[in-house]
């Protein structure tokens, strides 16, 4: 299955969703992603974020502690859910 334009329309709505997600991630983590892309289909909205880790998180990953970063990010997501 390919991603046809009719299936994943772009435009003001997708841009507004991307901007909102970037703002929320930035508010909770202190740093927003460098890029965000939103795709909207009939019953699903998908937001893909690029380069979201903070400098400290990148250091932890380089030190082999990626699971700690994942646990922390899951905690942020649970807070944002509210």
Whether residue 5 lies inside any domain: the answer is no
Whether residue 1 lies inside any domain: the answer is no
Whether residue 23 lies inside any domain: the answer is yes
Whether residue 7 lies inside any domain: the answer is no
* 67: its two tokens: 């699971």
| Domain encompassing residue 63 | 12-81
* pLDDT at residue number 32: 85
* pLDDT at residue number 19: 94
Kindly give, in sequence order, each residue whose CB lies less than 8 Å from that of residue 37, ignoring residues fewer than 6 positions away.
18, 47, 48
Whether residue 4 lies inside any domain: the answer is no
Q: What is the pLDDT of residues 1-30, one digit of tens each?
A: 344 444 455 689 999 999 999 998 888 888
How far apart, in Å, are the Cα atoms of 71 and each of 15, 33, 61?
29, 19, 12
Domains in the chain, number: 1
Instruction: Between 42 and 10, name the one with better pLDDT.
Output: 42
Strand extents, DSSP E, the chain:
35-40, 45-50
* pLDDT at residue number 25: 86
């Amino acid at each position: 299955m390919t991603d046809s334009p009719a299936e994943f329309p772009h435009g003001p709505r997708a841009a507004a969703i991307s901007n909102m997600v970037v703002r929320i991630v930035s508010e909770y983590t202190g740093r927003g992603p460098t890029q965000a892309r939103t795709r909207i289909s009939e019953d699903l909205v998908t937001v893909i974020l690029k380069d979201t880790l903070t400098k400290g998180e990148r250091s932890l990953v380089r030190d082999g502690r990626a699971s700690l970063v994942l646990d922390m990010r899951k905690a942020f997501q649970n807070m944002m859910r509210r």
